[in-house]
Structure 1
Amino acid sequence: MNIKTTITLILLFAAKTCLAQDLPKITPPSPEATALAKFTEIPVSHYTGVPSISIPIHTIQQNGISIPISLNYHSRGIKVGEIAPRYGLGWALQYGGSISRQTRGGTDESQYGYLNNNYDMDFFTDANKRGDVQDTYTFNQEYDFTPDLFHFNANGIGGKFIIDKTDGEVLVQGFDDIDITYLNQSVGNFNGIQSFTITDKHGNKFYFGVSKNGIRTARNYDKPIRSSHIPMGGGRQDFGFSGENYFNSWQLMEIETTYGHMIEFHYGSEEISRTFRHSYDKLENNVPVHHSLELEIHQFQLSEIRFNKGKLMFQSGAERDDLQDSHMLDKISLYDKQDNLIKSYELDYIYTTSIVDNNVHDFLEAQEPRANKRLFLNSIQETAPNLEQLPPYLFEYSTEQLPNRFSTSQDLWGYFNGKNNGQHLTFFDYGNVNIDRTVDVVKSEAGLLKKITYPTNGSSAFVYEDNIALTPLEFGQLVFQNVNPLIKKGVALSQISYSQYYNTNTNEYVHPFTIGPGIVGAISSFVRFNSPDQCSSSEFIQGCKFRVYVQGNGTAFELFIGKNDNHFNLAPGNYELIVEPRGTHDPLDPENDGFAVYLDWFEEADNSDDVVYGGGKRVKRILMDDAHGTIQTKEYEYLDLFGRSTGRIFGLPNFYSISDYSVGQFTILDAFGAVPGSPLGTPQGNSVGYSKVTEYYGSITANSGKTEYEFSVIPDAGKYYEFPYPLPTDNEWLRGKILKTEMFRKDPLDYTLLQKTENTYLYGDILANYPLPPPVFNPGSYSTYCNNDSNPGYSKNQRRYHLPLIQFINPGDITCQNGGNLAYDTYYLTGGTLDLGRSVATSYFDNGRELTTTKDYFYNYDDHYQLGSTQTRDSEGLTRMTKMYYWTDVNDTELGNRHRYSDIVKQENFLDKNDDGIFQPSELIGKQETDYRLWTNANNQYLPEYIKAQKGSGPLENRIIYHDYDDYGNPLQVSKPNGQNISYIWGYNNQYPVAKIENANRTEIDALSGFGTDFDSGTGGLTSIQENRLRSDLPKAIITTYSYSPLIGLKSVTNPMEDSTKYSYDQFNRLKQVKDRNDKVISEYTHKYKN
């Protein structure tokens, strides 16, 4: 983006209301929580250009819930101010869930925080209330109108929420059948939110911060020690802190499954006694001022997960070189219930050390010497119990080295750009420093993962490119500092180029050149004469052997000997560099007649008015090498049919304090302050997304086919791009939805379309695809009020919420010249329902035939957020409907009390035989119902007793009958109507079936000698005596028995004929042999790795 004019303003801060020029202070959570929240802010998707990169560790399976444990990598890029979590930069440990807070302004629960201050909805209709709020706001700097933003994840169910001060309820941005409650009270030295409980739609409960019994706690917080205020030139002032501490993240403590059993998460406390946060830099009284914060970070690190089959241990290693008192994750070990080691993973790390330069403030460099170190995960290696090791996962990163964590060498978005910006992070020149916040396409890749080598010796390599996107239409009147990469241009002349540029008619050297429309800054010059006698560095003197000047485009500028940086300005256009020899001239006599003239300048790589290099990287190409000579390639393109970028910019850069000034039709932004680049450090985390992405199976020029994806790119709403810059109405949750997918086959001359899927979405019950914010989520009235009543439209129902917020503005604002101190702007936070409404799938065949299926989706938002019914119409014109019933539809309050919204109690299938669009009872073709029962003998669990089915107009009949369960929800006896009973015995802590007994009921089994009521085999399997007793005392039963190696696999199966099949595993728990009862090998598996 070009800037043709730069206007510098001096801010005068005379009243508290003028501080509206400071954007809301955004405080990210701890490094561990931030690493996890990045995946919510910028999801892995074709839409974001972020590929899925994951190293699986283990998956916990317990009582119907599956919890994958993995290390995941986020490839958008590493911001300069990013602190590595304990597994290295870019990585995050996914293990079941987390909740973290992005503090926006003051903490919600503080005295004048959003939840406790005297601002509420009657502010808009009561002038006295507005006066009271204004008075309190004026005399209390910490007064906060903005709710904090919470990021949450509960075993894959994730999103954002805020707390509505009107009723204290949690408002999840995307509505679903999840329930989030919190405890807000004072406990010891801590006020505010102590814990959260999330209940998912299956009835599983997730306890965050405090365990269910209230005994164990794990919550992170930062304790400020002092803030430093350091003007350029000296005069540091330190300010101490007193007051309360508030938590910024809450660890997952327990998962209580819908069957009532616990998975426990345990933590070790880690107290980082002293670190610094570069808060912001700002122009005050026309002097750059550095602001930083010294603080203690109190965080909890995962140490153990206990589940019913065993436990995972997370062992910390040595103290980190990059962060005082913090420790890296050294080893992850899996144990069974008897504390037998199953396997472990050892993690190895490397550090990089930044090069010392002058781009770090002296104060921070002295106080935080570890900030020049960066922690990277180098390898992960699996180790067997006998200490034998597999080849490791190896990780290679960009050779571009990250700078000091406090470096000012940052582009507009906070990524490394290698520029010398001095000790102050600004958007304006100061002293002798010329600020350069442009994107550097090479440097911004610093720290990124480039290659993974797997234990098989195969590999995946990642090639990245810059995010290039269009600015929103709303930014059309907005101009801010250059961001696009700069290309150095130049023009040169010397006597060596005599034959090319010497004009014998005019006796001059003439070199034409062009200044492009993307020029940034001034022209630098270098002039040297080998015989400089009688020549000056400031004026032309008769007797000098050469005269040098630039002319063209109505301009003439003379040059003199010497080097002159930023010497003169030239507008875009065509020019000539001219060297005029004075007197005789012999180009073959360099000693006396030699000269050299050079001009250089910078131009933007893309100077289109609406094209901007966004923050970080997107994936360009993935190369997958199987280590056996085959390399598969996927390449990605982010262009439309006209070759223009499909990217869109969302959100402003890291401004802290902004002034605006109108010049004609433009608004010039002077950023008088800047916030360092760190994750979750800005109101809008994801700055770019793509409306169309093409994935090639091969390279762009040589491939077997491609898939084209189109996504929603609904912009944020509100006037966040206008003074005084309120928070945007965040619509990221509406973006990235797949609108269309097309799959093509590559033919010799072109592509052939094979399949197309087009999706339309329901926005709060309205079926549409919106290029702009949907009206249901766009209140529209982002207005300025001059001390008068307003009706901003607070709304909350089953389909949406509109939460109006205010921001006082400068009373001198031209809109409210007579508004006094009570002039204010309104803006909104919104959320609601967003679901797939219609999907049209078309298949194309070589004979020209097409098959199209249209599927419509319907919901009953007044009762629940589950899929209510679908209607599918095929190419033959037949329409089928499937209707689902849940507890709210049949008034099963017991399911409701257990929050089991996802249980389908009844399902009906219809065929619209007469094609009238009405599904009548006579068109019913099938039905299935589940009858539940409260099983008091099985820990009061509410589980199915009868599964019923109906065909057509026939009777509804029992198909499966559950006679009994154990306390873990495992069936003990089932049957079909008039069929034989099938009974099960469970073992290994009720986790695996150890016997299947057909034609016997549990009463008969429990009566056997050595058994008993609701018998199970305890911590292991059946003994040989028990197995023989079953077979001898139940002669009519058909018995199959099983034994296991817990957390490894099936150990043996003995069929009703008493033939056994045995399974053995190698030291890495991989299947090695299968043998029959005579120990004859049936099959054998060998695992070999290349080299």
Structure 2
Amino acid sequence: MKKTIILFTLLLSSVAYCQEKTIDKDSIIARSVAQAPSFWGSGRDLSTLVGPNAAAFEKYANVPVNYNTGQVSYALPLMTLVIDDELRIPVTLAYSNSGLKPAEIPSWTGNGWDVNVGGTIVQYHKGLDDFSTSGLQLALVRSKLDSYHNGTLTGASKYDYLWQVAEQNIDSQFDVFSLHFLGRSNSFYFDRDTVKFFNKEPLKVEFASNVFTVTDEAGYRYIFGIRSLSSGSYQDDTYGGMTFTEGASTWFLTKIVTPAGREVTLVYAEDSGYEIYESRRAYSSGTYVSGYTCPVNSAYTPHYVISYQFIGQRLLNRIDYPGGKLEFQLTNRNDLQSPVGVKSKALQAIRHRNINNQVIGKALFQYGYMDALSQDRLQLNSVSLSGTDTTLTQTWAFDYYPSSGPVPIPGLVKPGSTNVPNHAVDYRGYYNGQTSNTDKVPRYNYSSLNPYNTLGTVAGGANRHPDAIFSRWGMLRKITYPDKGYDWLEYETNKYKKSVGRVSLYEAEDTENYYTELFRSVTGVCDTVIQDFTLTSAVINAQISLHIQSNSSPVTIRIQRLSDMTYVVNTTQSPAEEWENTLIVSLPAGGYRYEIQAPCNT
């Protein structure tokens, strides 16, 4: 079999963020570098969905907020509850945001912000719920898993067990529990009746009557007494039919008991739940599946997976402690509501009262929206702090990178309408402005998935490339302090490259000021690569270098200007071994598409 290798190279950047804070007289200078991106698929894992406020706990605990990650390391202490000589409960406003992800829903304090107080235990289901009637907390279910692992389950019994697992009739994986309280974070799982932490920590976890009790090394007990089913989903697949997936569960911290017997009680209010509709397109080509005939040798045909996701929420209402109480005042928000039109809540104020019910501290929150006209995403504009003397109010104001259009919460079900899905995202889920995408499947040659299929090769058409401008919409740009000093934050994309050969595009007379590479390759037979790229400014005397390796197969390379669909390059070569060529052209600013085709060989 003949083999064709074409090497086509340009520069590809991705949306993981680094930041640059530039402050003159009123500020300081700091720089940071972000982590590299990972792949984000066309759908979400329904078992990991939690409400935006519980999700915010996860972000601050699991994402290091320091200058090594490229994320804004900013936290504003609001007030502190003194319980005894050892225990302090801080109430902190914290920011964590690496870019605009349409699927992420702003918390009760706005996009990227959260008030860190209290605690949660979030159960992420791996397979079935461990506490369900078919979960691993049942001795019979554990014994079957043990028999499978030790090899005593054989023959028809082994086949039947695997079938039961595949059909999700019986559990085979330990659920993961994510623990967060008072600045401490860890994850654990139940191995029978024993709790095992992912990271060793001097904590004791007990579970009884659907209540978690965590005891720390000093003897303080933290009781998580309210369980809320954070999410669940109905999914209708053209091939798989209707299924229900129970989502994550959240236990909320409801009481703290000191060794001396002092108690702190946390009271929650149930916020309106919301529903997300999602229609995902998939392409299929294969064998007979559940009554549907999919010929092995057929073109990829699209089908749809439709899901309804239900997410419940609870918000702090009050904290009572021996020295007084905290009151959390809520207000309606316009970007999130239930299917029957009940608006979700935002945090409007926190009032700290002493034992005589006198206000000794107050925090007031003012909001806007990323797009003021559509009121699409809640944004925190300012927070004001005052003590017993309300005339001495200090205000922190926040400014964000502006958007040029709305990005509403995709699929939100409202009375009489549903927000449209948002397919304008890159591979990590960051917004890239490609509103013409009709799904999230990128155009690619998928023939390697089914080597027996010569017709099902190219499918999809979504542009999933990152865009640094669109993805920073709504990110924190400026913090203005009470003394009118400020921090200004600038973001840039993280870049990576992988050299596999070269077709280079650069300005011939000034390679330092304009040089772009995007690494692509075509290897083997019946292979095609189609890729879009954009020039933000015109390039005079652009030099396009082409490098093809082949053993006699004709290879076609095209570069097309998208504005008028004319070809800048359109050449077919049949080299004996290797062929190189250089073209000099002028390229106006705008969008382009390159295409490399290698024909089938026998």
The Cα shift of 1:433 comes to 6.7
The Cα shift of 1:220 comes to 4.2
Q: Distance in 2 between matches of 1:599 and 1:463?
A: 25
CA contact (8 A) 1:311 1:335 kept: yes
CA contact (8 A) 1:439 1:485 kept: no
Partner of 2:147: 122
The Cα shift of 1:331 comes to 0.8
Instruction: Give the count of matched residue pairs.
Output: 474
CA contact (8 A) 1:318 1:328 kept: yes
Partner of 1:908: none
**Residue in structure 1 matching 2:194, options 161, 169, 177:** 169
Query: Unmatched 5+ residue regions in structure 1?
Result: 6-21, 186-193, 211-216, 232-236, 356-369, 472-476, 494-510, 529-536, 539-547, 557-570, 579-595, 604-662, 664-1091
In structure 2, the CA distance between the partners of 1:137 and 1:23, relative to structure 1 (3 Å rule), is: farther
Q: Does 1:601 align with 2:592?
A: yes
Q: Does 1:523 align with 2:559?
A: yes
Aligned residue type for 2:592: W
In structure 2, the CA distance between the partners of 1:550 and 1:91, relative to structure 1 (3 Å rule), is: closer
In structure 2, the CA distance between the partners of 1:573 and 1:380, relative to structure 1 (3 Å rule), is: farther
Aligned residue type for 1:344: K
Q: Distance in 2 between matches of 1:112 and 1:521?
A: 57
Q: Does 1:513 align with 2:543?
A: yes
Q: Distance in 2 between matches of 1:294 and 1:284?
A: 22
**Residue in structure 1 matching 2:382, options 374, 379, 382:** 379
Other structure's SS at 2:370 match: strand
Q: Does 1:409 align with 2:437?
A: no
Other structure's SS at 2:319 match: strand
The Cα shift of 1:373 comes to 1.4
Give the 5 Å matches for 1:318-717: 318-324=332-338, 325=342, 326-353=344-371, 373-383=376-386, 388=391, 390-400=393-403, 403-406=407-410, 407-428=422-443, 434-468=461-495, 486-488=533-535, 513-515=543-545, 522-525=558-561, 573-575=581-583, 601=592
Aligned residue type for 2:330: S
Q: Distance in 2 between matches of 1:67 and 1:422?
A: 47
Other structure's SS at 1:72 match: strand
**Residue in structure 2 matching 1:79, options 101, 104, 107:** 101
CA contact (8 A) 2:423 2:440 kept: yes
Q: Distance in 1 between matches of 2:536 and 2:173?
A: 47
In structure 2, the CA distance between the partners of 1:386 and 1:601, relative to structure 1 (3 Å rule), is: same
Indicate the percent of aligned positions where both proteins have the same amino acid.
21
Other structure's SS at 2:230 match: strand
Q: Does 1:67 align with 2:67?
A: no
Partner of 2:168: 142
CA contact (8 A) 1:438 1:482 kept: no
**Residue in structure 1 matching 2:111, options 84, 89, 93:** 89
In structure 2, the CA distance between the partners of 1:517 and 1:253, relative to structure 1 (3 Å rule), is: farther
Q: Distance in 1 between matches of 2:380 and 2:326?
A: 20
CA contact (8 A) 1:30 1:248 kept: no
Partner of 1:102: 124
TM-score by length of 2: 0.67
Other structure's SS at 1:120 match: helix
In structure 2, the CA distance between the partners of 1:31 and 1:240, relative to structure 1 (3 Å rule), is: same
Q: Distance in 1 between matches of 2:486 and 2:243?
A: 52
CA contact (8 A) 1:228 1:292 kept: yes
Aligned residue type for 1:179: K
The Cα shift of 1:601 comes to 3.4
Partner of 1:202: 218
The Cα shift of 1:180 comes to 1.4
Partner of 1:248: 249
In structure 2, the CA distance between the partners of 1:124 and 1:309, relative to structure 1 (3 Å rule), is: same
Aligned residue type for 1:202: A
Partner of 1:1079: none
Query: Unmatched 5+ residue regions in structure 2?
Result: 9-42, 286-299, 411-421, 446-457, 499-520, 549-555, 595-599
In structure 2, the CA distance between the partners of 1:104 and 1:400, relative to structure 1 (3 Å rule), is: farther
Other structure's SS at 1:574 match: strand
Q: Deviations over 1:806-845 (max 9, x none)?
A: xxxxxxxxxxxxxxxxxxxxxxxxxxxxxxxxxxxxxxxx
Q: Distance in 2 between matches of 1:483 and 1:354?
A: 38
The Cα shift of 1:487 comes to 4.4
Q: Distance in 2 between matches of 1:107 and 1:331?
A: 37
TM-score by length of 1: 0.39
Q: Distance in 1 between matches of 2:272 and 2:563?
A: 60
Between 1 and 2, higher relative CO (CA 8 Å, sep ≥ 6) is seen in 2
Aligned residue type for 1:601: Y
In structure 2, the CA distance between the partners of 1:403 and 1:521, relative to structure 1 (3 Å rule), is: farther
Aligned residue type for 1:397: Y
The Cα shift of 1:467 comes to 3.5
Q: Distance in 2 between matches of 1:515 and 1:488?
A: 17
Q: Deviations over 1:961-992 (max 9, x none)?
A: xxxxxxxxxxxxxxxxxxxxxxxxxxxxxxxx
Give the 5 Å matches for 1:290-309: 290-309=304-323
In structure 2, the CA distance between the partners of 1:434 and 1:470, relative to structure 1 (3 Å rule), is: closer
Aligned residue type for 1:29: V
Other structure's SS at 2:71 match: coil
CA contact (8 A) 2:557 2:572 kept: no
In structure 2, the CA distance between the partners of 1:51 and 1:517, relative to structure 1 (3 Å rule), is: farther
CA contact (8 A) 2:535 2:590 kept: no
CA contact (8 A) 1:491 1:600 kept: no
The Cα shift of 1:113 comes to 4.1
Q: Distance in 1 between matches of 2:487 and 2:207?
A: 43
Q: Distance in 2 between matches of 1:419 and 1:426?
A: 13
Alignment root-mean-square deviation, CA? 4.5
Q: Distance in 1 between matches of 2:529 and 2:353?
A: 55
Q: Distance in 2 between matches of 1:295 and 1:178?
A: 34
The Cα shift of 1:553 comes to 9.6
Partner of 2:20: none
The Cα shift of 1:301 comes to 0.7
Aligned residue type for 2:259: T
Q: Distance in 2 between matches of 1:95 and 1:129?
A: 51
Q: Distance in 2 between matches of 1:428 and 1:201?
A: 55
Partner of 1:262: 263
Q: Deviations over 1:524-576 (max 9, x none)?
A: 15899xxxxxxxx99xxxxxxxxx996889589xxxxxxxxxxxxxx985125
Q: Distance in 2 between matches of 1:379 and 1:52?
A: 18
In structure 2, the CA distance between the partners of 1:319 and 1:47, relative to structure 1 (3 Å rule), is: closer
Partner of 2:69: 48
CA contact (8 A) 1:420 1:436 kept: no
The Cα shift of 1:134 comes to 3.6
Aligned residue type for 1:275: E
**Residue in structure 2 matching 1:152, options 179, 187, 193:** 179
Aligned residue type for 2:467: D
Q: Distance in 1 between matches of 2:557 and 2:98?
A: 30
CA contact (8 A) 1:395 1:453 kept: yes
Q: Distance in 1 between matches of 2:133 and 2:492?
A: 46
Q: Distance in 1 between matches of 2:491 and 2:479?
A: 15
Q: Distance in 2 between matches of 1:60 and 1:128?
A: 56
Aligned residue type for 2:462: I
Other structure's SS at 1:106 match: coil
Q: Deviations over 1:111-148 (max 9, x none)?
A: 44454545523323325258535424425622543333
Q: Distance in 2 between matches of 1:438 and 1:290?
A: 23
Q: Distance in 1 between matches of 2:432 and 2:563?
A: 30
Q: Distance in 2 between matches of 1:23 and 1:353?
A: 25
The Cα shift of 1:30 comes to 1.6
Q: Deviations over 1:854-890 (max 9, x none)?
A: xxxxxxxxxxxxxxxxxxxxxxxxxxxxxxxxxxxxx
The Cα shift of 1:169 comes to 1.9
Aligned residue type for 1:34: A
In structure 2, the CA distance between the partners of 1:121 and 1:127, relative to structure 1 (3 Å rule), is: closer
The Cα shift of 1:396 comes to 0.9
